[in-house]
Amino acid sequence: MAETWLPGMVITAERLNGTAWAPLTLSSGFTHPGHGFTPAYRLLGSAVILRGRISKTSGTIADTDVIATVPAALRPAAAVGWAGPRNGSSPGMVRLELNTAGEVKVFAGTASPSWISLDLVTYFLD
């Protein structure tokens, strides 16, 4: 959320560097696979940054699985999407989408990855 600068405001570390990384809430049946960053988010101005890898606790990620939910204050006004790295029978990409309910959904087609990455995912609240 963009902040309006007012006379007398103090420059703080949070205003310059954003918030600390906070754990991302994973959907039931999903976990961190034990490699790469733990799923997390941070706010830097009006930019929300995600990172980390997510896998199913058993089996592979299916097309249209909801893998995580972002906090209400960090949900976009409209759905946003991006490509995210995945593993599988051969490395590649999946489409990831964040809807206004805060759900991070995977569109993997027939890829059936065992993990996906959120590293470098960034979207804006304004």
Q: What is the pLDDT of residue 109?
A: 84
Tens digits of per-residue pLDDT, 1-25?
Answer: 456 666 776 666 555 667 899 999 9
- What does pTM read for this prediction? 0.83
Domains and CATH numbers, the chain: 21-124 (2.60.40.2460)
Mean pLDDT across the stretch 26-37?
97
DSSP secondary structure of 58-114:
SS-PPTT-EEEE--GGG--SS-EEEEEEE-SSS-EEEEEEE-TT-EEEEE-TT---S
Q: What is the pLDDT of residue 17?
A: 67
- Bigger pLDDT: 112 vs 100: 100
- Which residue is associated with the tokens 């906070």? 22
Mean pLDDT across the stretch 99-124?
92
Tens digits of per-residue pLDDT, 79-90?
Answer: 999 999 998 667
Residue 72: pLDDT over 90: yes
Residue 78: pLDDT over 70: yes
- Bigger pLDDT: 11 vs 101: 101
